[in-house]
């Protein structure tokens, strides 16, 4: 299969915001407890944080992390997680029918995030609570000193305020399952007032308002319009969520869900522009895609279990085993975020450890990288700079969710500072090799510096505690560059990261 793709140094999409490679972690299942925090584990540090997990997290170079939820946040009392640990109450987590011991709260999480080198992005509870608690939480976290809440933080041993600039105004407030679910207008007004209050505390705060829980919600996309009509001038981002799966066992259709996601982003971009025009507003609102991932392997089974179980503590929940097919999907989805980086400024893989996550960690046992860890890692390491347009001229396919889908999925990033160009390519064809011919106009002296490939695995192959490196990248061959023209072959069902300087 011959594919001609071309790019030009001056045909730019956008400067990519580093936060496109952010993550999300929730008090849910074993994400926090026995995920990042497990006192007594052989790898635990004196504060109870798992060093093995921390190392895998650090290697991802994650810029920002959304915390503490998710559905969890909509009934969370943040004050339960501060002060002496032995005095913290155990509460019922209404979202996941579990027990929350509150042994990790904002101060422990901040300590972990600092060790991991990640900026925090905090969510406030606009479900069971509201503006008053949001401002108290923010004042506790970010005000330097001399007030009730800031002095309380200082009395808890945290003398310096946290530098938190990103604040999420609740979570999935359109969802009837959400504790404190609201109608669009009501939520939009609350979000507007809460954003105003947070920005009164610190004018540099960026506020993220909830969009729909996904693009299949009955109220989508009117929800976005109605919410933004209430709060457009006071918010900076609108959040999108979407989870993916291949329940019908149709690989090409699964991959094409990336096209569907492009349409979702485009539609919300249109809503943003509509509201901006209607309000004659000057400010811009961007997209924060703050929950995305594959979630279907155990979804039904888990939903049955958690609806009936008896409030366990840190239960095994949503521990998806990702396979090679999922890695190819995730690679393509991140390519779509790069191609849409003019609209999508922040995106968070959901989640980070154990719960629908690229990193898994057994209680008392080892931690390992899942298949999807690698495309996420490569994008985070090499996907920073300016996204370039790539024109692809090659065979396409039609399927249930989209027509005219390119078999070859490509994104290109020019890092002007490092003077490198990185191509991220996925050959989605089930059988055929791509014979690639790709002029890179404006890069006449480009030299190949690195080629990593994930290929040759069965679509259902996965990693596990006994075979942690079964599916992993290796050095690639068969691609070269001459006179600014990339040529080579990419075997069927393969992912490539090809870098030039
Ligand atoms: O990430 C798991 C859950 O998915 C989150 O709590 C919620 O926001 C979404 O529905």
Ligand 1 atom showing the smallest separation from residue 95 Cα: 6
Among residues of the chain, what percentage have pLDDT more than 70?
A: 100
Q: What is the mean pLDDT of the chain?
A: 98
Q: Do residue 372 and residue 437 come from a single domain? A: no
| Domain limit, last residue, from 382, 404, 432 | 382
pLDDT digits over 18-42, tens only?
999 999 999 999 999 999 999 999 9
Q: What is the CATH number of the domain that holds 148?
A: 3.20.20.80
- Residue 115's H or E segment, with its range, is helix 106-116
- Residue 284's H or E segment, with its range, is none
Q: Residue 13 in contact with residue 339, Cβ under 8 Å? A: yes
Residues that are catalytic = 172, 291
Give the per-residue pLDDT at 307.
87
* Mean pLDDT in residue range 173-187: 98
Length of the chain: 501
- Report the domain count for the chain: 2
Q: Do residue 305 and residue 407 come from a single domain? A: no
**Tokens 């609740």 map to which residue?**
170
Question: Chain-centre distance of CA 465, in angstroms?
Answer: 24
Structural domain for 459, as ranges: 2-10+387-500
pLDDT digits over 410-461, tens only?
999 999 999 999 999 999 999 999 999 999 999 999 999 999 999 999 999 9
Q: Do residue 347 and residue 260 come from a single domain? A: yes
| Whether pLDDT at 126 is above 90 | yes
DSSP 455-483: -S--TT-B-BTTBTTSS--EE--SEEEET
Q: Do residue 337 and residue 418 come from a single domain? A: no
**Tokens 């396409």 map to which residue?**
396
Q: Which residues contact 482 (CB under 8 A, 6 or more apart)?
A: none
Nearest Cα residue to atom 4 of ligand 1: 70
| Domain limit, last residue, from 351, 382, 413 | 382
Give the pLDDT band (50/70/90) at residue 122: very high
332 lines ligand 1 (CB under 6 A): no
Distance 71 CA to ligand 1 centre (A): 6
Nearest Cα residue to atom 8 of ligand 1: 70
Mutate to test the pocket of ligand 1, among 350, 352, 355 (most ligand atoms within 8 A of CB): 350
Nearest Cα residue to atom 5 of ligand 1: 70
Interface predicted TM-score (ipTM) of this complex, two decimals: 0.99
Mutate to test the pocket of ligand 1, among 291, 294, 303, 355 (most ligand atoms within 8 A of CB): 291
Q: Do residue 332 and residue 230 come from a single domain? A: yes
Q: Residue 80 in contact with residue 139, Cβ under 8 Å? A: no
Mutate to test the pocket of ligand 1, among 241, 294, 319, 353 (most ligand atoms within 8 A of CB): 241
| Whether pLDDT at 88 is above 90 | yes
Evaluated on CA atoms 125, 128, 130, 133, the torsion sign reads: negative
Q: Do residue 333 and residue 478 come from a single domain? A: no
Nearest Cα residue to atom 9 of ligand 1: 70
Q: Do residue 98 and residue 6 come from a single domain? A: no
246 lines ligand 1 (CB under 6 A): no
Structure token pair of residue 220 = 């989508």
Q: How far apart are the first and last CA of the chain?
A: 28
| Domain limit, last residue, from 349, 382, 415 | 382
Q: Do residue 378 and residue 468 come from a single domain? A: no
Nearest Cα residue to atom 6 of ligand 1: 70
Q: Do residue 270 and residue 205 come from a single domain? A: yes
* Mean pLDDT in residue range 129-143: 98
pLDDT digits over 369-384, tens only?
999 999 999 999 999 9
Q: Do residue 428 and residue 364 come from a single domain? A: no
150 lines ligand 1 (CB under 6 A): no
Give the per-residue pLDDT at 444.
96
Ligand 1 atom showing the smallest separation from residue 70 Cα: 6
Q: What is the CATH number of the domain that holds 413?
A: 2.60.40.1180
């Amino acid at each position: 299969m011959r594919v001609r793709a071309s790019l030009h140094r001056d045909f730019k999409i956008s400067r990519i915001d580093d936060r496109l490679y952010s993550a999300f972690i929730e008090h849910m299942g074993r994400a926090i407890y026995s995920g990042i925090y497990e006192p007594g584990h052989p790898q635990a540090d004196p504060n109870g944080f798992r060093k093995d997990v921390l190392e895998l997290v650090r290697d991802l170079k994650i810029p920002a992390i959304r915390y503490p939820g998710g559905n969890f946040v909509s009934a969370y009392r943040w004050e339960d997680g501060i002060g002496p640990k032995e005095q913290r109450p155990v509460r019922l987590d209404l979202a996941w029918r579990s027990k929350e011991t509150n042994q990790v709260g904002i101060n422990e999480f901040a300590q972990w995030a600092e060790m991991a080198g990640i900026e925090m992005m905090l969510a406030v509870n606009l479900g069971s609570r509201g503006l008053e608690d949001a401002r108290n939480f923010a004042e506790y976290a970010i005000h330097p000193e001399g007030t009730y809440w800031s002095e309380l933080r200082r009395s808890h041993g945290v003398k310096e305020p946290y530098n938190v600039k990103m604040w999420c105004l609740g979570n999935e407030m359109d969802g009837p399952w959400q504790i404190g679910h609201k109608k669009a207008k009501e939520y939009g007004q609350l979000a507007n007032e809460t954003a105003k209050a947070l920005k009164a505390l610190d004018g540099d705060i960026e506020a993220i308002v909830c969009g729909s829980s996904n693009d299949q919600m009955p109220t989508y996309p009117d929800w976005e319009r109605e919410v933004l009509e209430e709060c457009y001038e006071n918010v900076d981002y609108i959040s999108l969520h979407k989870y993916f799966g291949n329940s019908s066992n149709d690989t090409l259709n699964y991959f094409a869900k990336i096209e569907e996601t492009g349409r979702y982003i485009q539609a919300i971009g249109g809503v943003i522009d509509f509201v901006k025009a209607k309000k004659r507003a000057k400010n811009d609102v961007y997209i924060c895609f703050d929950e995305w991932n594959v979630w279907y392997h155990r979804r039904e089974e888990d939903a049955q279990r958690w609806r009936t179980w008896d409030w366990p503590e840190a239960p095994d929940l949503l521990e998806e085993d990702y396979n090679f097919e999922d890695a190819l999907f995730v690679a393509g989805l991140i390519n779509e975020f790069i191609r849409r980086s003019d609209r999508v400024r922040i995106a968070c893989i959901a989640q980070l450890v154990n719960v629908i996550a690229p990193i898994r960690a057994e209680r008392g046992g080892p931690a390992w990288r899942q298949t999807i860890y690698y495309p996420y890692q490569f994008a985070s390491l090499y996907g920073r700079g300016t996204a370039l347009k790539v024109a692809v001229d090659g065979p396409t396919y039609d399927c249930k969710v989209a027509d005219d889908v390119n078999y070859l999925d490509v994104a290109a990033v020019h890092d002007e500072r490092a003077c490198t160009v990185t191509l991220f390519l996925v050959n989605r064809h089930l059988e055929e090799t791509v014979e690639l011919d790709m002029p890179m106009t404006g890069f006449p002296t480009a030299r190949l510096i690195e080629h990593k490939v994930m290929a040759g695995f069965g679509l259902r192959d996965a990693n596990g505690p006994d075979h942690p490196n079964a599916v992993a990248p290796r050095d690639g061959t068969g691609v070269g560059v001459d006179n600014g023209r990339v040529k080579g072959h990419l075997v069927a069902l393969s992912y490539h990261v090809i870098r030039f300087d």
